[in-house]
Amino acid sequence: MPLNLYKSFCSVGLLTIFSRIMGFVREILIATELGASAVTDAIKIAIKVPSLFRRIFAEGAFNASFVPLFSDILEKEPDKKSALSFGEYILSWLTISLCILTLIVELLIPSLFKIMFSSFDPERLAITIKLTRIAFPFLIFISLSAFYSGILNSIDRFFFVSSSQFIGNIFIVGFVLVSNALNKDISISFVVAVLGCGIIQFLWVMIPAHKAGFKLKIRKPKITPDVKLFFKKLTPAAFGAGVVQINILIDMWIASSLPKGFISYLDYAERLNQLPLSVIGTAMSTVLLPLLTRTLSQSKAEDHLTIQKKSIEFAFLLVIPSMIGLILWAQPLVGMIYQYGKFSAIDTIQTSNALMAFAFGLPAYVLIKIYSTTLFAQKDTRTPVKIAMLCVGLNLALNLILVKSMQHVGLALATAISAWTNVLLLIFVLKKRTLLAPFYQYVDFSKRLMCAVLIVLPLAFWGKFLLCDAMISHSGLMKGFIICFSTTLSFFIFLGVCILTRALNLQSFKLKFLSYSPSEPSP
What are the pLDDT digits (tens) for 291-328?
Answer: 665 665 555 556 667 777 777 877 788 888 888 888 88
With a cut of 50, say whether residue 417 has pLDDT above it: yes
Among 360, 326, 325, 273, CA closest to 494: 325
| Dist. CA 455–CA 523, nearest whole Å | 49
**Angle of helix 262-276 relative to helix 38-57, nearest 10 degrees?**
50
Q: What is the 3-state secondary structure (H, E, C) of 200-265?
A: HHHHHHHHHHHHCCCCCCCCCCCCCHHHHHHHHHHHHHHHHHHHHHHHHHHHHHHHHCCCCCHHHH
Instruction: Say how many C-beta atoms besides its own lie within 10 A of residue 77's C-beta.
Output: 11
> What's the pLDDT band for 78 if we cut at 50, 70, 90?
low
Q: Give the separation between CA 329 and CA 334, rounded to whole angstroms.
A: 8
pLDDT: which is higher, 266 or 103:
103
Q: Which long-range contacts (CB under 8 A, 24 or more apart) does 520-523 make?
A: 521/298, 521/299, 521/300, 522/299
Q: How far is it, in rounded angstroms, from Cα 42 to Cα 108?
A: 17
- Closest Cα to residue 308, out of 140, 434, 491, 456? 434
State residue 513's pLDDT score. 45
Q: What is the pLDDT of residue 521?
A: 34
Torsion angle (degrees, nearest 10) of CA 458, 460, 462, 463: 160
Per-residue burial over 364-395, b = 16 or more CB atoms within 10 Å of its CB, e = otherwise: bbbbbbbbbbbbbbbbbbbbbbebbeebbebb
Sorting pLDDT into bands at 50, 70 and 90, what band is 155?
confident
Q: Which residues contact 186 (CB under 8 A, 6 or more apart)?
A: 29, 30, 33, 34, 176, 179, 180
**Chain centroid to CA 241:** 14
Fill in the amino acid letter for 114.
Answer: K
Report angle CA 292, 298, 299 to the nearest 5 degrees.
Answer: 90
Examine the pLDDT at 515 and tell me if it is beyond 60: no
The crossing angle, in degrees rounded to 10, of helices 38-57 and 225-256 is 160
Q: Is the pLDDT of residue 511 over 50?
A: no
Query: Residue 352: pLDDT above 60?
Result: yes
Where is average pLDDT lowest: 213-222, 245-254, 361-370?
245-254
Task: Write out pLDDT tens, residues 358-381.
Answer: 999 888 888 887 787 778 767 777
> Please, which pLDDT band fits residue 514 given cuts at 50, 70 and 90?
very low
> Which pLDDT value is given to residue 385?
78
Give the chain's radius of gyration (CA, Å): 23
**How far apart are alpha carbons 503 and 397 in whole angstroms?**
39
More confident residue, 287 or 17: 17
Q: How many CA atoms lie within 13 A of 345 on its CB side?
A: 3
CB contact at 8 A, 187 and 127: yes
Separation of first and last alpha carbons in the chain: 17
Residue pair 363/319 in contact by the 8 Å Cβ criterion: yes
Note the pLDDT tens digit of each residue in 39-66: 888 888 898 888 878 776 766 667 777 8
Q: Is 249 exposed, middle or buried (0-12, 13-18, 19+ CB in 10 A)?
A: middle
At a CB cut-off of 8 Å and minimum separation 6, what does 44 contact?
Answer: 263, 264, 267
pLDDT for 215 equals 84
Closest CA to 369 of 285, 270, 291, 294: 285
pLDDT digits (tens, 9 = 90+) for 176-215: 889 888 888 888 999 999 999 999 999 999 999 888 888 8
**For a pLDDT cut of 90, what percent of the chain falls above it?**
16
Report which secondary-structure segment, H or E, holds 142.
helix 138-154
Q: Where are the alpha helices (DSSP H) in 407-442?
A: 408-432
With 0-12 / 13-18 / 19 or more C-beta atoms within 10 angstroms meaning exposed / middle / buried, residue 399 is buried
Whether residue 135 is predicted with pLDDT greater than 80 in this model: the reply is: yes
pLDDT of residue 240: 61
What is the C-alpha to C-alpha distance for residues 383 and 375, in angstroms, rounded to an integer? 8
Q: Write the DSSP symbol of residue 436.
A: S
Contact 372, 426 (CB under 8 A): yes
- Binned at pLDDT 50, 70 and 90, residue 11 comes out as low
Residue 10: pLDDT above 60? yes
In angstroms, the CA 219 to CA 232 distance is 21
2-11, 253-262, 312-321, 420-429 — which is least confidently predicted? 2-11
With contact defined as beta carbons under 8 Å apart, do 266 and 347 qualify? no
Highest mean pLDDT among 99-108, 248-257, 275-284: 99-108
